[in-house]
């Protein structure tokens, strides 16, 4: 029988758990500092809660759980594994509306499951890390989300991150104002999303093939062409204003972008935000500001999000304002690993010191010494058997433990512990009551 984890899923051995916990800890600490609160929902949802929420392709990727008992044989499913953290949030907002604060700011870091074909960096069980602020249309929400994400990336060591910012209403407004027929707006948006990669000619061809009239396509592309990728935020705002030709919804988006920039001037996001006309974020459900966070020399983004005022109310049957950012936790972990960005605390040895056992009769004394050191705050491993002392040292070295303590007959007589620093090889007799300090000083 195979003892590998199920296809596309991963075991996390201790070193890996430590790295993951470090990143999740930074994320939680930063978001708590912004007044966001933790939420957890069950791994399984009633199947009706999930089906139909992710499109036809999404439905196929949902892991479904067989009914149990007499109905197991029917092959019917009544439950399904969580596919994202947004639908459960919408359910929670509907279920506990009376208990939740008017402005519900939650972060949620939990696994989701998708029956995708596994490939490098894509798993069937992976963590999502979603941060959403529900209940307000104020641009303070966008500004706070960008500031918090900035703090997270700065704390993790991505000092040079760039926040790309845009607005769906501006994009739609530019498309509308260029004379693209209403029924082709979405189509044009999808084409424009590729401006980065396909270039003007590529997008022109796609717009044509999607049936956008040549004149409208040319106006639209001229408008985008007039906005240099290296334009300042002010230049892009001005170009947006010209292209929108007084378009009302687009103008509201433009005003909001200006406000986000102004509000961010004295937050952690200051200097990191770049308006990016080519940012469209696919065919997703955004209704206002959209954002992605990138770092140099890395294709793809480490976080993305935006305002989506029409989704969280899906179970309530009404619009509930919402804006959120999803951090690409698995991606962040991969990049931090590749770039050796984990601090020593995240790649800690399994213990600060390992105590050896001189002989079977002395095991109790070893445990007594361990008790004292643990009370002093040290992480202490005890070799459990009275093996030859060399074997015990070898074991400590193989585990990367920095210090080893020995109480031989000599040390016993003198009331000291011989502490060996495995990095330097130096061995020091340390009075029993000073061992904790000695190890802490050398940590």
Give which of 41, 56, 133 is closest to 87, Cα–Cα. Answer: 41
Binding to a copy of itself, residues 270-289 (CB under 8 A): none
Per the structure block, which two tokens stand in for 23?
């990143």
| In the complex, minimum distance from the CB of residue 220 to a copy of itself, in angstroms, rounded to a whole number | 34
Told to check if 433 binds a copy of itself by CB under 8 A, we report: no
Binding to a copy of itself, residues 351-370 (CB under 8 A): 351, 354, 357, 363-364, 366-368, 370
24/190 with CB nearer a copy of itself: 24
Told to check if 81 binds a copy of itself by CB under 8 A, we report: yes
Binding to a copy of itself, residues 394-413 (CB under 8 A): 395, 398-399
28/249 with CB nearer a copy of itself: 28
Q: Interacting stretch for a copy of itself, rule CB under 8 A, among 93-101, 209-217, 293-301, 408-416? A: 93-101
Quote the DSSP letter at residue 382: E
Q: Name the packing angle between helices 248-263 and 233-244 (round to 10°).
A: 170
Binding to a copy of itself, residues 106-125 (CB under 8 A): 106, 111, 113, 115, 125
Determine contact, residues 411/431, Cβ cutoff 8 Å: no
Binding mask 50-79 for a copy of itself (x = CB under 8 A): ----------xx-xxxx-xx--xxxxxx-x
41/278 with CB nearer a copy of itself: 41
| In the complex, minimum distance from the CB of residue 54 to a copy of itself, in angstroms, rounded to a whole number | 14
Q: Interacting stretch for a copy of itself, rule CB under 8 A, among 164-172, 325-333, 372-380, 430-438? A: 372-380
| In the complex, minimum distance from the CB of residue 376 to a copy of itself, in angstroms, rounded to a whole number | 10
232/266 with CB nearer a copy of itself: 266
Per the structure block, which two tokens stand in for 395?
């074991």
Among 57, 183, 338, 385, binds a copy of itself (CB under 8 A): 385
Determine contact, residues 314/90, Cβ cutoff 8 Å: yes
Residue 135, judged by CB atoms within 10 A of its CB (0-12, 13-18, 19+), counts as middle
172-194 burial, b at 16+ Cβ within 10 Å, e below that, comes to bbbbbbbebeeebbebbbebbbe
| In the complex, minimum distance from the CB of residue 108 to a copy of itself, in angstroms, rounded to a whole number | 9
| In the complex, minimum distance from the CB of residue 105 to a copy of itself, in angstroms, rounded to a whole number | 8
Determine contact, residues 290/166, Cβ cutoff 8 Å: yes
Among 55, 101, 159, 202, binds a copy of itself (CB under 8 A): 101
Determine contact, residues 81/63, Cβ cutoff 8 Å: yes
| In the complex, minimum distance from the CB of residue 358 to a copy of itself, in angstroms, rounded to a whole number | 13
302/370 with CB nearer a copy of itself: 370
Q: Interacting stretch for a copy of itself, rule CB under 8 A, among 41-49, 203-211, 280-288, 426-434? A: 41-49
49-79 burial, b at 16+ Cβ within 10 Å, e below that, comes to bbbebbeeeeeeebbbeeeeeeeeeeeeeeb
Binding to a copy of itself, residues 199-238 (CB under 8 A): none
Contacts of residue 313, Cβ cutoff 8 Å, sequence gap at least 6: 90, 93, 94, 319, 320
Contacts of residue 344, Cβ cutoff 8 Å, sequence gap at least 6: none
Told to check if 345 binds a copy of itself by CB under 8 A, we report: no
| In the complex, minimum distance from the CB of residue 315 to a copy of itself, in angstroms, rounded to a whole number | 5
Q: Interacting stretch for a copy of itself, rule CB under 8 A, among 89-97, 284-292, 324-332, 334-342? A: 89-97
Binding to a copy of itself, residues 152-181 (CB under 8 A): none
Contacts of residue 85, Cβ cutoff 8 Å, sequence gap at least 6: 41, 108, 110, 112, 128, 130, 326
Binding to a copy of itself, residues 302-321 (CB under 8 A): 315
| In the complex, minimum distance from the CB of residue 139 to a copy of itself, in angstroms, rounded to a whole number | 8
Among 163, 223, 254, 263, binds a copy of itself (CB under 8 A): 263
Q: Residue 230, SS3?
A: coil
Question: Tokens 């007044």 appear where?
Answer: 35
Give which of 242, 327, 225 is closest to 277, Cα–Cα. Answer: 225
Contacts of residue 71, Cβ cutoff 8 Å, sequence gap at least 6: none
């Amino acid at each position: 029988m195979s003892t590998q984890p199920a296809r596309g899923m991963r075991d996390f051995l201790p070193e890996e758990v430590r790295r993951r916990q470090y990143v999740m800890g930074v994320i939680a600490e930063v978001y708590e500092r912004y007044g966001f609160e933790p939420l957890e929902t069950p791994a399984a949802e009633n199947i009706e809660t999930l089906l139909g929420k992710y499109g036809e392709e999404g439905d196929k990727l949902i892991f479904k759980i067989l009914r149990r008992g007499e109905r197991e044989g029917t092959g019917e499913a009544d439950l399904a594994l969580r596919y994202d953290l947004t639908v459960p949030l919408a359910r929670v907002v509907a279920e506990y509306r009376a208990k939740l604060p008017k402005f519900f700011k939650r972060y949620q870091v939990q696994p989701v499951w998708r029956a995708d074909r596994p490939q490098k960096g894509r798993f069937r069980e992976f963590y999502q890390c979603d941060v959403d602020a529900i209940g307000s249309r104020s641009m303070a929400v966008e500004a706070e989300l960008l500031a918090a994400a900035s703090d997270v990336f700065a704390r993790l060591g991505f000092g040079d991150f760039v926040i790309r910012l845009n607005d769906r209403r501006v994009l739609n407004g530019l498309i509308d104002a260029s004379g693209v027929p209403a029924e082709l707006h979405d189509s044009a948006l999808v084409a424009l999303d590729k401006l980065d990669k396909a270039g003007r000619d590529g997008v022109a061809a796609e717009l044509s093939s999607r049936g956008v009239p040549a004149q409208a396509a040319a106006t639209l592309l001229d408008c985008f062409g007039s906005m240099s990728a290296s334009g300042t935020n002010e230049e892009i705002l001005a170009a947006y204003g010209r292209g929108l030709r007084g378009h009302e919804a687009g103008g509201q988006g433009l005003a909001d972008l200006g406000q986000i920039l102004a509000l961010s001037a004295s937050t952690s996001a200051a200097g990191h935000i770049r308006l990016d006309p080519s940012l469209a974020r696919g065919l997703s459900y955004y209704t206002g500001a959209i954002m992605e966070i990138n770092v140099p020399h890395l294709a793809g983004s480490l976080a993305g999000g935006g305002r989506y005022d029409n989704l969280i109310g899906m179970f309530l049957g009404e619009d509930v304002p919402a804006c959120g950012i999803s951090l690409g936790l698995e991606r962040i972990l991969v990049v931090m690993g590749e770039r050796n960005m984990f601090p020593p605390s995240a790649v800690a040895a399994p213990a600060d010191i390992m105590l050896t056992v001189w002989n079977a009769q002395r095991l109790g004394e070893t445990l007594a010494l361990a008790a004292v050191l643990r009370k002093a705050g040290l992480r202490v491993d005890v070799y459990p058997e009275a093996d030859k002392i060399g074997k015990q040292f070898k074991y400590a070295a193989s585990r990367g433990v920095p210090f080893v303590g020995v109480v031989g007959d000599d040390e016993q007589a003198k009331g000291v512990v011989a502490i060996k620093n495995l990095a330097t090889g130096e061995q020091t007799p340390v009075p029993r009551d000073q061992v904790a300090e000695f190890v802490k000083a050398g940590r």
